Chains A and B, each alone.
Chain A
Amino acid sequence: MTGPLGDASLPVLAAPVGRSAVEDTLPPGRTRRGTELAMLAFALVVTLVAYTAVGLAKDGQVPEGLLSYGAGLGGLFLVAHLVVRLLAPYADPLILPCVALLNGLGLVLITRLDNASDENRRLAGKALLRHDAPTQLVWTGLAVVLFCGALLVLRDHTRLSRYGYLSGALGVGALLLPLLPFVGRNINGARLWVRVGPVQVQPSEAAKVLLMIFFASYLVSKRDVLSLAARRVAGLDLPRARDLGPVLVAWGASLAVLVFQRDLGSSLLFFGLFIAMLYIATERVSWLVIGVGLFLGGSYVAYRAFGHVQARIDTWLHPFADPQGASFQLTQSLFGFGTGGLTGTGLGRGSPDKVGFAVKTDFIFTSVGEELGLVGVMAVLILFALIVERGMRASLGCRDGFGKLLAAGLSFALALQVFVIVGGVMGLIPLTGVTLPWLSYGGSSVVANWVLVALLMRISDAARRPAPAPVNPGLARAALAEAHTTVIRR
């Protein structure tokens, strides 16, 4: 797991948690912020080239908004970079460029789908709809502001653990908000939305981050109880019945989300996330077994009890059974991926809009597959994988349990979310609607995921920051060997 920046020959310093806490630390001054800036510039260039390609495909002209668009996006990237340089100088230099590229590409795809909507409505003789790309750019701006704000306010991520229960309460509250009368909105059969004035918000995105903070702080404080008190049955260390409480609560809550909000994707996400964090906190395989068992049981019950769950499964098994009806979107999505083939049709030259409803949100990856082909699909997936694995690396390098657990949880949440939606639109698993982080249209998603990245960057900064150098390393080591175990740095 030694990365390009790791240096195992560094002196082994105080490492209260884990054996590899130090392998990723850097000597002072080697922050790699210059690398980050160069890669951000590269991400901006790729985005603008793609934006130009969309314009050329539309009317053969370089889009007139290219300069302002480039300046706006470039400005946002630059601000994010400067704030990181100032406030989290040791943070992983790879994460921000990957996020920036994905976000830029998302804006390009939304612009492209705006054009398709115009063309379709002109062909149908209907009034044109307001474009979504400018809105998404505004949301991206807000997201970057919150990203910077999070880094500014939160100078030490461990402080967050104090607000564990508050986060949990806020998270659950956010999750339940759409169920309230007056503010809750039922859109396309799922009650996931809250309307505040003119703005629609999907609070489950914010709930994701809030609940993870809660999970991390709760599990770190209870990890001893959860991992030590156990009975061994048939080779598995089973937890005590009363310790099962939190798991059952998480399971019940995600089922409740599924039932009342008809949001399969989010419930799957929350449940998977909690089990993974429980496993990381306790390192007990038994939790995984229990979690998977509960998941399978819950899935079976849901399959038998709910028509819409059943329909999803049937569509997944037989995507071409009802191409004009229930499986229309999945069929069209697969057609898109197939038509795109190896290299894609080129931006603006395919028909990803055929997927219809949710083409800019849940099905945005279909546009990648059709117009950028397998090459683009693999590139985007690798970008996500890079962010996830750099996040995991931050977790490994982090010196405190809370940060470790939070970083791993955030990274895993990202991986699972990408898996759920990309696997869904590509027919690998039954389709459940969640957004594809940074690519999908939607303010809540973009903001929540930029804040998620801010947390990852903060933890990564802490993980890679060189520990305060002892006055005399040799002396410190000798003293350390004889000293009692104490917390040196928190």
Chain B
Amino acid sequence: MNRAVRRVAIACLLLFAALLVNANVRQTVLAQGYRDNPGNSRVLEQTYDRERGAIALDDGTTRTLIARSTERDGRFRYLRSYPSNDLYAHVSGFYSFIYGATGIEKAEDSILTGDDPSLFVKRFTDTLTGREPRGGDVVLTIDPAVQRAAYAGLRGLRGAAVALDPKTGAILAMVSAPSYDPNSLTSFDGTAIRAAYDGLTKDPANPLLNRAINQTYPPGSTFKVVTAAAALADGRTPESQVPSPTVLDLPQTSVGLKNFGGESCGGPTSSIAEALRISCNTAFAALGLQLGAQKLRDQAKAFGLDDDSLTVPLPVSASRFPDDPNPPQLAQSAIGQFDVRVTPLQMAMVAAGIANGGEVMSPYLVQEVQAPDLSRIDLAQPKALSRATTPRVADELTTMMQAVVDRGTGTSAQIPGVAVAGKTGTAQNAPGAAPHAWFIAFAPAKDPKIAVAVLVENGGKDGSDATGGRVAGPIAKAMMQAVLKR
């Protein structure tokens, strides 16, 4: 029997040899293909085993971490935490095991995980020296003082506030209210995460929505700045007279267009500057009819409306000017009603464009990308997005907007010793609903350091009595002061 036993023994060895060869092929030659297969979630999960880079703010003196990875015990070694809780929630977003990532956590994921090609050399040397690879850090443009001012002003309300550095486009503040605590979505306690997420998605106030960039609203009277810009670019001057009746007869309809509260604008005609100061609806509606839809839309586009591809690097919802309005719709559109829809960021860009001599800078949140050893990998380069208007028109608009704050509808944003330019808005949105309160502004008027847009949904606590000046103005003022005090 021994001959047969020997042969069977050899056959067994061949079976094991086949297994070994198969294992070698699959775990070396074919391994990368298995790793990269989109159905393989293991590699994704391994990112929870690597220290993710931090999201930081840096005002030149102190470095504040708004998102960081802390080492823990367990299957996933790093827990994402947000030391400022809900203050920066819509900027940082969250990085959740179950619900994925949002905000900067999503937009800058490749840097934060360390997979970005720009971190390759670092990664390579880490591998050589046996150090554990770590993600890069992302430093934001957010100014904590401005952010806090906006956050405090919007507490308890629904709305949003955005502040820009008009000269660079750097986003100094981005607040959406109500906010949420990203920490509640990033633990490894599935029950708690699901409960928290359910609560957030079922909340009618929709706290997860970033109202500053992902929700559009009718801009109301703040849009008159755009109409005024179109008129000035069309050859008119701030002193050009336009009809300003108490009720403007709209063509093709029996319904007239009235002023806020049915008031008169102080005479049958009024200058453009005066109409802006007291926010006269009939004058700007008439101006819109005179200019026509095309010129209005071109001007709106020059400020950044109808741009579907804007990212900061969070994707921004496009603001819209209606496609083909008939005359009554055009008249409504000229005062920021009908189907004009803008994000708060868009209105901040309008203010910033005027503040910057007519040039709209591309808004951005990421100031700097750093390697794990804090060496700089990338620094933001401000760049122009579009030329909205000429320096002369921008100058004229600035003067007109200063008058709004000095002695018009926007006096609530006055800052002692500083020339502030601004424009209020009180936007009708739904029948019976209280209007949205808007305020856009920049300061100092002659050498602007900050441009802001504030929106408070449905007039906030003041309800139907609300006006942009009363509700949104003080928030805008506090945000500007935070920068100017320095």
Chain A interface residues toward B at CB < 8 A: 1, 17-20, 57-61, 115-116, 119, 122-125, 276, 279-283, 320, 323-324, 331, 334-342, 345, 348-351, 354, 369-370, 373-374, 377-378, 381-382, 384-385, 388-389, 392, 395-396, 401, 404-405, 408, 411-412, 415-416, 418-419, 422-423, 426-428
Give a binary string over B1-39; 1 marks a CB under 8 Å from any A CB, 0 the rest. Answer: 111111011011101101110111011101111110101
Q: A58-B75, A334-B34 are in contact. Are A388 and B12 (CB under 8 A)?
A: yes
Q: How far is the CA of A373 from the CA of B24 in the complex (A)?
A: 10
CA distance A205 to B15 in the complex (A): 21
Do the beta carbons of A385 and B16 come within 8 Å of each other?
yes
Contact B43 A339 (CB under 8 A): yes
Q: Which residues of A contact B43 (CB under 8 A)?
A: 339
Contact A124 B190 (CB under 8 A): yes
Given contacts A351-B42, A374-B28, contact A426 B12 (CB under 8 A): no
Most B CB within 10 A of own CB, among A19, A335, A382:
A335
CB B99 to nearest CB in A, in angstroms, measures 12
CB pair A125–B194 under 8 Å, yes or no, is yes
Q: How far is the CB of B310 from chain A (nearest CB, A)?
A: 36
Docked complex Cα distance between A335 and B26 (Å):
10
B41 at the interface (CB under 8 A from A): yes
CA distance A382 to B23 in the complex (A): 12
Given contacts A334-B26, A404-B1, A428-B18, 19 further A-B contacts (CB under 8 A): A59-B74, A119-B188, A123-B189, A125-B190, A280-B8, A320-B39, A338-B32, A338-B40, A339-B42, A341-B27, A342-B27, A351-B45, A354-B41, A369-B27, A392-B8, A392-B9, A416-B15, A419-B16, A423-B19
Q: Least Cβ distance of A261 to chain B in Å?
A: 25
Does B73 interact with chain A (Cβ within 8 Å)? yes
Q: A279 and B23: CB pair below 8 A?
A: no
Q: How far is the CA of A335 from the CA of B188 in the complex (A)?
A: 24
Task: Say how far B130's CB is from chain A's closest CB, in angstroms.
Answer: 14
By a CB distance below 8 angstroms, the chain B residues around A61 are 73
A389 pairs with B23, CB closer than 8 A: no
Indicate if the CB atoms of A396 and B190 lie closer than 8 Å.
Answer: no
Contacts A18-B2, A59-B73 given; does A340 touch B27 at CB 8 Å: yes
Residue A119 contacts which of B12, B18, B27, B75 (CB distance < 8 angstroms)?
B75
A342 partner residues in chain B, CB cutoff 8 A: 27-28, 31
Q: A115-B75, A335-B39, A349-B49 are in contact. Are A123 and B12 (CB under 8 A)?
A: no
Partner of B37, one of A320, A324, A404, A428: A320
Contacts of A60 in B (CB 8 A): 73
Cα(A373)–Cα(B32), bound, Å: 14
B98 at interface (Cβ–Cβ under 8 A)?
Answer: yes
Chain A residues near B28 (CB-CB < 8 A): 341-342, 374
Taking the closest CB of chain B, its distance from the CB of A32, in whole angstroms, is 21
B interface residue numbers (CB < 8 A to A): 1-6, 8-9, 11-13, 15-16, 18-20, 22-24, 26-28, 30-35, 37, 39-43, 45-46, 49, 73-75, 97-98, 188-191, 194
Closest 3 CB pairs of A and B: A338-B34, A125-B191, A123-B190
Does the CB pair B6–A1 fall under 8 Å? yes
Cα A171 to Cα B183 in complex, Å, equals 60
Q: Does B27 contact A338, Cβ atoms closer than 8 Å?
A: yes
When C-beta atoms are compared, the residue in chain B nearest to A338 turns out to be: B34
CB contacts (< 8 Å) of A412 on chain B: these are 8, 11-12
Instruction: Please name 27 pairs of A and B residues whose Cβ atoms are closer than 8 Å in the assembled complex, sorted by A.
Output: A17-B1, A59-B74, A123-B98, A123-B190, A125-B191, A280-B1, A280-B8, A323-B39, A331-B39, A334-B26, A338-B27, A339-B31, A339-B34, A342-B27, A342-B28, A349-B49, A350-B42, A378-B23, A384-B16, A396-B6, A412-B11, A415-B15, A416-B15, A419-B18, A423-B22, A426-B22, A426-B23
Q: How far is the CA of A381 from the CA of B97 in the complex (A)?
A: 36
Contact B23 A337 (CB under 8 A): yes
Q: Contacts A339-B34, A377-B23; is A122 near B189 (CB within 8 Å)?
A: yes
Cβ of A430 to closest chain B Cβ, rounded Å: 14
**Contact (A419, B190) CB under 8 Å given A61-B73, A281-B1, A426-B26:** no
Given contacts A124-B190, A426-B22, contact A283 B1 (CB under 8 A): yes
| A198, chain B: closest CB distance, angstroms | 30
Shortest CB-to-CB span from B27 to chain A, Å, is 4
User: Is the CB–CB distance between A119 and B74 below 8 Å?
Assistant: yes
Q: CA separation between A381 and B3, bound complex, in Å?
A: 25
List, in ascending order, chain B residues with CB within 8 A of A334's CB: 26, 34
What residues of A have a CB within 8 angstroms of the CB of B190 in the complex? Answer: 122-125
Report the minimal beta-carbon distance from B352 to chain A, rounded to whole angstroms: 44
Question: What is the bound-complex CA distance between A211 and B187, given in angstroms?
Answer: 54
A contact face: mostly helix, strand, loop, or mixed: helix
Residues of A within 8 A of B74 (CB): 58-59, 119
A279 to B9 alpha-carbon distance, docked (Å): 12
Chain B residues lying within 8 Å of A427, measured Cβ to Cβ, are 22, 26
Indicate if the CB atoms of B15 and A419 lie closer than 8 Å. yes
> Which chain B residues lie closer than 8 Å to A57 at the CB level?
75
User: Contacting A405 at CB < 8 Å: which of B1, B23, B46?
Assistant: B1
Structural contact, B23 and A385, CB atoms closer than 8 A: no
Q: Is the CB of A20 within 8 A of B2?
A: yes
Task: Please tell me if the beta carbons of B13 and A374 are within 8 angstroms of each other in the complex.
Answer: no
Known pairs A320-B37, A338-B30, A428-B18; A116 contacts B75 (CB<8 A):
yes
Closest to B18 in A: A428
**Please, which residues of chain A bring their CB within 8 A of the CB of B6?**
1, 392, 396
Docked CA distance A333–B13 (Å): 24
Residue of A at shortest CB range from B192?
Answer: A125
Given A335, A396, A419, which contacts B42 in the complex, CB threshold below 8 Å? A335
Quote the shortest CB–CB distance from B7 to chain A (angstroms): 8
Q: Distance (Å) between the CB of A197 and the closest chain B CB?
A: 35
B2 touches A396 (CB 8 A): yes
Residues of B within 8 A of A58 (CB): 73-75
Chain A residues positioned under 8 Å from B19 (CB to CB): 381, 418-419, 422-423, 426, 428
Task: Determine how close the nearest CB of chain B comes to the CB of A377; give it in whole angstroms.
Answer: 5
Measured between alpha carbons, how far is A123 from B45 in the docked complex, in Å? Answer: 14
Contact of A377 among B8, B18, B27, B194 (CB under 8 A): B27
Residues of B within 8 A of A378 (CB): 20, 23
Q: Which residues of B contact A276 (CB under 8 A)?
A: 8, 11
Chain B contacts of A335 at CB under 8 A? 34-35, 37, 39-40, 42
Which residue from chain B places its CB closest to the CB of A395 in the assembled complex? B5
Q: Do A123 and B97 have beta carbons less than 8 Å apart?
A: yes
Please pick, from A283, A320, A370, A389, the residue contacting B3 in the complex, using a CB distance under 8 A.
Answer: A283
Are the C-beta atoms of A396 and B5 separated by less than 8 Å?
yes
CA distance A112 to B459 in the complex (A): 57
Question: In the bound complex, what is the Cα–Cα distance between A280 and B1 (angstroms)?
Answer: 6
In the complex, the answer to whether A348 meets B191 with C-beta atoms within 8 Å is no
Interface pair B12/A415, CB less than 8 Å apart: yes
| B20 smallest CB distance to A (angstroms) | 6
> For the complex, what is the distance from the CA of A58 to the CA of B74, rounded to whole Å?
4
Most buried by B among A1, A57, A123, A350: A123
Contact B73 A408 (CB under 8 A): no
Closest CB in chain B relative to A142 CB, distance in Å: 29
- The smallest beta-carbon distance between A407 and chain B, in angstroms, is 8
What's the least CB distance linking B16 to chain A, in Å?
4
Least Cβ–Cβ distance between A400 and chain B, in angstroms: 10
Looking at the complex, which one of A123, A381, A408 makes contact with B20 (CB distance below 8 Å)?
A: A381
Q: For the complex, what is the distance from the CA of A396 to the CA of B4, rounded to whole Å?
A: 10
CA distance A58 to B32 in the complex (A): 27
Is B3's CB under 8 angstroms from A423's CB? no
Q: Could you tell me the distance between the alpha carbons of A327 and B16 in the complex, rounded to whole angstroms?
A: 25
Q: Do residues B1 and A401 form an inter-chain contact, with CB atoms below 8 A?
A: yes
- Give the distance in Å from the alpha carbon of A382 to the alpha carbon of B13 in the complex: 10
A324 and B27 alpha carbons, distance in the complex (Å): 22
Known: A338-B30, A385-B13. A404 touches B5 (CB 8 A): yes
